[in-house]
């Protein structure tokens, strides 16, 4: 009986600990950056030419992308904004 409880506990706890992830996984993943780059070149040239990424430093880009999303929230979703910001954050200096 105790053994069954132990196994049950493992089954319940394992997915939880996996979901929390390790600190390394919190770093921006290469996949996210790649997707962000693609979105940058397809989403950010709707109203104007693509801006050079050295136009802003990291914090400047975060607010700039938010401002651009507000101009047309139907064109850039929250998820897309996050990916674009991830790409820009990883590509520019502080
Ligand atoms: C709905 C139209 C629209 C979309 C989509 C858009 N922009 Fe803009 N953007 C503008 C307009 C209009 C201006 C000029 C007025 C201003 O600065 O608010 C501008 C100005 C800018 C500027 C210069 C001003 C500044 O703050 O440095 C940058 C950089 C920029 N956009 C980046 C982007 C990026 C990155 C994206 C994609 C996330 C994007 N834009 C998507 C309309 C848009």
Q: What is the pLDDT of residue 43?
A: 98
Nearest protein CA to atom 29 of ligand 1, as residue: 51
Whose Cα sits closest to atom 25 in ligand 1?
A: 64
Give, in degrees to the nearest 5, the angle at Cα 83 between 78 and 84. Answer: 95
The three-state secondary structure class of 57 is coil
pLDDT at 60: 95
pTM score above 0.85: no
Query: Mind listing the pLDDT tens digit of every residue in the chain (94 residues)?
Result: 677 666 555 556 555 555 555 555 567 899 999 999 999 999 999 999 999 999 999 999 999 999 999 999 999 999 999 999 999 999 998 7
Question: Which pLDDT does position 79 carry in this prediction?
Answer: 97
Q: Is the residue at 13 inside a domain?
A: no
pLDDT of amino acid 44: 98
Query: How far is the C-alpha of 82 from the C-alpha of 94, rounded, in Å?
Result: 18
User: Is 2 a domain residue?
Assistant: no
Ligand 1: centre distance to CA 28 (Å): 24
Domain total of the chain: 1
CATH at residue 73: 1.10.760
Residue 82 forms part of a structural domain:
yes
54 CB neighbour count, 10 Å cutoff: 9
Domain that holds residue 76: 28-91
List, chain by chain if needed, residues with CB within 6 Å of any ligand 1 atom: 43-44, 46-48, 51, 55, 64-65, 68, 71-72, 75-76, 84
The answer to whether residue 14 is domain-embedded is no
């Amino acid at each position: 009986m105790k053994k069954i409880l132990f196994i049950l506990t493992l089954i319940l706890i394992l997915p939880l600990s996996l979901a929390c992830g390790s600190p390394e996984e919190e770093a921006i993943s290469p996949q996210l950056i790649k997707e962000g780059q693609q979105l940058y070149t397809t989403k950010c040239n709707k109203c104007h030419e693509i801006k050079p990424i050295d136009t802003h430093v990291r914090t400047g880009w975060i607010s700039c992308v938010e401002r651009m999303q507000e101009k047309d929230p139907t064109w850039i979703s929250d998820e897309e904004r996050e990916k674009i910001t991830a790409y820009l954050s990883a590509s520019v200096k502080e």
